[in-house]
Every structure is written in C-alpha cells, then in structure tokens.
Amino acid sequence: MKFTLKLAERVSQLGTEEAFEVLVRARQLEAQGKEVVHLEIGEPDFPSPVNVVEAAVQALREGWTRYGPPAGYPELREAVAQNVSQEHGVAVDPSEVIVTPGAKPILFFVILALVEPGDEVFIPDPGFPIYASMVRFVGATPVPIPHREELDFGIDLDEIKKRIGRKTRLIILNSPHNPTGGVIPRAQLKELSELVVNSPACILSDEIYSQLSYDTPPSSITEFPGMKERTVILNGFSKTYAMTGWRIGYGIMPSALAKKLALLVINSSSCTASFIQRAALEALRGDQSPPRKMVAEFKKRRKVMVEGLNRIPGFHCRMPHGAFYAFPNITEIGLTSQQLAEVLLEEAGVATLAGSGFGDHGEGFIRISYANSIENIQKALKRIDSWVRSNKKTL
C-alpha cells in the first residue's frame, strides 16, 4: 500500500518570511554570474564584537559546553534585569527574565502560553510576518493595526480604540518598527496604556531594535502605570550586538508567566547554549563601543539612503527613526510592491522586499535595508534610479 504522509492541520497555518525566499532567488542569480546588491537583509552587516567572540572561545575552553538552567544562567538573567531596570526606570527581578535561543521563541512561547483559540491578537500592519503566523498557528485571529505613513509610521490609536474588546487577549507592539523604521511616540504609548489598563489585554512589546535609534530614544509601554504586570518585553542580542547567527534573546515578563516559559523551554530546546550565554554576558557588561560605532554608521547610511531614494522619480521616503530599514512609498511607479521588488531584483540586480509581504497596509511600499556599505547603497540607488528612468514611460 502506498504510504501517504498526513500532516496535522495546524502546520497549514504557518506562514514564512519573504526575506528568506528573496535571498534564495538572489543567490540563484549570483550563481548564474549576475551581481546583486543585497538590501533585503534583516541583519547588521558588521561582525560580532571581538570581545564577545573572545568570551565565547574562552567559555568553550573553560568547559561551558553542557546543559544549563532552562531559564538561563543566573548571572545573565541578573545582568539583563539590571539593564532593563536602568533603561526603563522600572524594577525588574531576575526571576522575570527568560533567556531563549534567539528572541523569536519568546514570541512563540508567549503566544502559546497566553492566547486561546478564538482570541484576538492585535498585530502591527505592516509588521514582522511571524506575528500573524504564530497567532493563526494557535487558532486565534490576528487583527491588523495600521502603522500609517501619514502618522510618521506610528500606530493608529483610533483603530485600536474601535477594535479593542472582550476578545482582545494580546496587543503586539514593535518599536522601532520592522519594516518602516517608525518609532511609536511616547505620547501614543501613554494614551494606549490608559486604554489598556481597563481591559483584560496583555502587551507583547517587541523591542529587538531598541538600541538602533537615531533621534529620540524609544520609550517602552512598560514605563507607564499598571503596564509592567501585563507586559512582556522581547529583546535580544541579534541586532544590537550583530549576533543574529548566535541565537540568543530574552523576554521580561511577570514571574507566573516566566515559570511557564521555562517549561516551554524544557519541552523544546532544554536551554540556550551555555557558552553563548557567557558571550552574551560579556556583550552586556563589556565594552559598549562596538554597538555605538555601528549605530553611528547606520545613522550616516540612513541619510545617504533616504536622500538618494527621494531623488528617484516616483519614490517618496520618510526619514525612519530606528532599526535599519527605509520604507519608501512607490505607488507613483504604477507597479505593485511585489512587481517592483521582482523587477528590481531580476533587471536591476537590487534585492529588496515587497511591502505587501508585511501585511495589506504594506502595499504601495518596498522595504530597503541599509545594513550594507555606503558604497553598495550608492550602487543600488544608481541602479534603481536608472531602471526607473528607463522604464517610466512604458509603465
């Protein structure tokens, strides 16, 4: 009898990140001898700091090669708690910190632990595609909350006021924001906190880009009265310390939830690699000049990118306040964001991401990462500009 593999219904709900697919196509083109400028990437192009690499090597030599505590080593949880307390002016106890292999598992585990089938979860739109994917995976309904260009890519509070209700279980915030680079203004967070404090909703505040900001430092909703007990902060080392491949992140959450997350870690990965936790401790406690230099460099690139994009006919780009993404409006070009991203890759040799891959409100925009050298940014801008100028009449 022929065997037919029957998959569980829940995996049909899983979405993906377009960035990985675009990267595969770009690599195919490169294998055919085409040269591609990579502006689709969601990771710093800088090496991990030398002191952090050295700490990992030393930890391996010292034998930090065994299972560790599921919630993370006490020293690292303590260092995270201290940093977050200082940054936000709220007391954080190490028991409220959970360390995971990357920050993504915090998102997954918090949704598993808090959200029931049939619940509603507010997600940013455009937004990191994994939010909607995870919400659907647990049988809940994602409710898109627009980040609007005319609001400088802050959240649409009126939409939240309209939609918040008994079924709203979780509100996901992301500031600085992927894909727009927007930062939710402090006044908006305060107003939202006043709205949420009288509801049963919790908040997941994805602050993975919190250290990558170029204007006013971003605030966290946890700083407002009544918020800490209902908020999970998601953060990590991937973006701040250019450590995407190390896989280490953390969450700050009420300790009753932290206990359940530790169980989810035991049931999935057992723990985060011990020597990597030692390196992460060095990242937090050691020399902070490598991340500072990286931010200064991103700030220069942001200017080159945004000014260059605004010189291209049909492109209009706001100045992003954080992360390393520009999100130009391309509606005047007359193509969908998917069509434009495709021709830019295939015909101009520039890899970008369609805004539509981040939600319906991303249509009309493309995401362009400036985590690449100024030389490559200038090369990409030139290529996009000449593609647009030579195709404009025929579009």
Instruction: Rank residues 273 and 388 by Cβ distance to ligand PLP and give the closer one.
Output: 273
Which residue in the set 44, 185, 218, 249 belongs to the binding site for ligand PLP (CB under 6 A)? 249
Which residue in the set 206, 218, 232, 291 belongs to the binding site for ligand PLP (CB under 6 A)? 206
Angle subtended at Cα 369 by Cα 365 and Cα 371, rounded to the nearest 5 degrees = 170
Q: What is the nearest approach in angstroms of ligand PLP to the Cβ of residue 182?
A: 12
Asked if residue 102 binds ligand PLP (CB under 6 A), the reply is yes
Pairing of strands 249-252, 97-100: antiparallel
Residue at 122: amino acid letter? F
Instruction: Rank residues 204 and 333 by Cβ distance to ligand PLP and give the closer one.
Output: 204
Q: Which residue sits closest to ligand PLP, CB atoms considered? A: 102
Instruction: Rank residues 105 and 308 by Cβ distance to ligand PLP and give the closer one.
Output: 105
Instruction: Rank residues 160 and 208 by Cβ distance to ligand PLP and give the closer one.
Output: 208
Size, binding site for ligand PLP by CB under 6 A: 13
Asked if residue 208 binds ligand PLP (CB under 6 A), the reply is yes
**Stretch of 102-110, 142-150, 161-169, 345-353 contacting ligand PLP, by CB under 6 A:** 102-110
Query: Taking Cα atoms as reference points, which of 277, 280, 271, 275 lies closest to residue 67?
Result: 271
Query: What is the DSSP code (8-state) at residue 331?
Result: G
Q: Name every residue whose Cβ is closer than 8 Å to that of residue 133 and which is 6 or more positions away in sequence.
A: 13, 14, 15, 16
Per-state percent for the chain, helix, strand, coil, to nearest 5: 45, 15, 40
Asked if residue 181 binds ligand PLP (CB under 6 A), the reply is no
What is the C-alpha to C-alpha distance for residues 306 and 301, in angstroms, rounded to an integer?
8
Instruction: Rank residues 208 and 348 by Cβ distance to ligand PLP and give the closer one.
Output: 208
Q: What backbone phi and psi angles, to 5 degrees, belong to 115?
A: -105, 130
Q: Name every residue whose Cβ is closer than 8 Å to that of residue 374 and which is 6 or more positions away in sequence.
A: 300, 301, 304
Distance of CA 325 to CAs 117, 160, 179, 213, 308, Å?
Answer: 34, 25, 6, 11, 14
Asked if residue 185 binds ligand PLP (CB under 6 A), the reply is no
Asked if residue 143 binds ligand PLP (CB under 6 A), the reply is no
Asked if residue 236 binds ligand PLP (CB under 6 A), the reply is yes
Asked if residue 103 binds ligand PLP (CB under 6 A), the reply is yes
Asked if residue 128 binds ligand PLP (CB under 6 A), the reply is yes
Q: What is the nearest approach in angstroms of ligand PLP to the Cβ of residue 131?
A: 8
Q: Which residues pair with 249 in a beta bridge?
A: 100, 236
Residue-wise DSSP of 19-84: HHHHHHHHHHHHHTT---EE----S-SSPPPHHHHHHHHHHHHHT--S---TT--HHHHHHHHHHH
Asked if residue 244 binds ligand PLP (CB under 6 A), the reply is yes
Q: What is the nearest approach in angstroms of ligand PLP to the Cβ of residue 102?
A: 3
Instruction: Rank residues 156 and 206 by Cβ distance to ligand PLP and give the closer one.
Output: 206
Asked if residue 104 binds ligand PLP (CB under 6 A), the reply is yes
Distance of CA 345 to CAs 29, 338, 342, Å?
Answer: 9, 11, 5
Instruction: Rank residues 149 and 207 by Cβ distance to ligand PLP and give the closer one.
Output: 207
Asked if residue 220 binds ligand PLP (CB under 6 A), the reply is no
What is the C-alpha to C-alpha distance for residues 129 and 152, in angstroms, rounded to an integer?
21
**Stretch of 97-105, 156-164, 266-274, 367-375 contacting ligand PLP, by CB under 6 A:** 97-105
Asked if residue 301 binds ligand PLP (CB under 6 A), the reply is no
Which residue in the set 48, 219, 238, 372 belongs to the binding site for ligand PLP (CB under 6 A)? 238
**Stretch of 96-104, 265-273, 314-322, 367-375 contacting ligand PLP, by CB under 6 A:** 96-104
Asked if residue 126 binds ligand PLP (CB under 6 A), the reply is no
Restricted to residues 40-79, the positions that interact with ligand PLP (CB under 6 A) are: 42
Asked if residue 178 binds ligand PLP (CB under 6 A), the reply is yes
Query: Helices 274-285 and 74-88, interaxial angle, to 10°?
Result: 30
Asked if residue 173 binds ligand PLP (CB under 6 A), the reply is no
Residue at 177: amino acid letter? H
Instruction: Rank residues 125 and 206 by Cβ distance to ligand PLP and give the closer one.
Output: 206
Q: Name every residue whose Cβ is closer than 8 Å to that of residue 322 and which is 6 or more positions away in sequence.
A: 175, 176, 177, 181, 182, 183, 209, 210, 212, 213, 214, 215, 218
DSSP run (H or E) holding 168: strand 168-174
**Interface residues toward ligand PLP, by CB under 6 A:** 42, 102-104, 128, 174, 178, 206, 208, 236, 238, 244, 249
